Homo-oligomer: A and B are copies of this chain.
Amino acid sequence: MSDPRPAIVLLSGGMDSATCLAIAREAGFACHAISFRYGQRHASELVAATAVARALGAASHRIIDIDLASVGGSALTDAIAVPKGRSDDTIGDGIPVTYVPARNTIFLSYALAWAEVLGARDIYIGVNAIDYSGYPDCRPEFISAFQATARLGTTLDDLTMRAPLQHLDKAAIITRGIALGVDFGLTQSCYDPGESGAPCRLCDACVLRLRGFAELGLVDPVMGASER
């Protein structure tokens, strides 16, 4: 039996990328997970990413330091307030202040470099239907365009970008993750956790996560039941 083919998996430590990693593993890849320390408020997500990579049997996990804070321009890295308590209806209207300029382009570029060094032909990213209502770099058209750029800009002329959550909402992602054995208790989604890493329950990421579990009649293993 030949060794499994390598794939690069972007891993943030949240629910979506954990599910994405489980899907890549299920597809038979040796998964090389990559995370980024980019001056985010929620750097505790990297602790979660490390736990998730281990629990899901990643072949390796690398955390890359990148200097996005010095470029600035986002509530996730700057002294801009993270919006709290928005309703389901207003989340997804326009580009949120938590958008980090060109973040996914930068993340995918590093993933691409590592893919080229490892000879990996597949890059997984957990962007999904809810994200791309607000963030331009989560749109399916962006992911397709990045694949075209990647094929031209490297020796990997058959590289495939895989975004298996692209058309799923949170409840569907949770369902898929549970079926694949993802322990969502290890994940962290909050944009603005307390010092202890406790989720705020009020930012968009917390609201969407709580709603996803509630829709399924489940209790979030991190945040408990939704109060709504």
Contacts and interface: CB of A to CB of B under 8 A. Distances in A.
A72 interface: yes
Nearest to A153: B137
A153 B102 contact: yes
Contacts of A149: 105, 142, 145-146, 148-149
A102 B106 contact: no
Contacts of A142: 149, 152-153
A110 B107 CA distance: 10
B153 A104 contact: yes
Contacts of A103: 113
Contact of A105 (B64, B95, B109): B109
Interface residues of A, number: 40
Contacts of A155: 95, 136
Interface in A68-106: 68, 70-73, 95, 100-106
B102 A109 contact: yes
A106 B113 contact: yes
A62 interface: yes
B116 A102 contact: yes
A31 interface: no
Interface string A22-48: 000000000000000000000000000
A154 interface: yes
Contacts of A154: 101-102, 105, 136-137
Most chain B C-beta atoms within 10 Å of own C-beta, residue among A62, A64, A109: A109
Given A106-B113, A148-B149, 16 more contacts: A64-B67, A65-B67, A101-B113, A102-B109, A102-B113, A102-B150, A102-B154, A104-B153, A105-B109, A105-B149, A106-B110, A108-B109, A137-B153, A137-B154, A142-B152, A142-B153
Interface of A: 62, 64-68, 70-73, 95, 100-106, 108-110, 112-114, 116-117, 136-137, 139, 141-142, 145-146, 148-150, 152-155
5 contacts: A62-B70, A95-B155, A101-B116, A145-B148, A146-B149
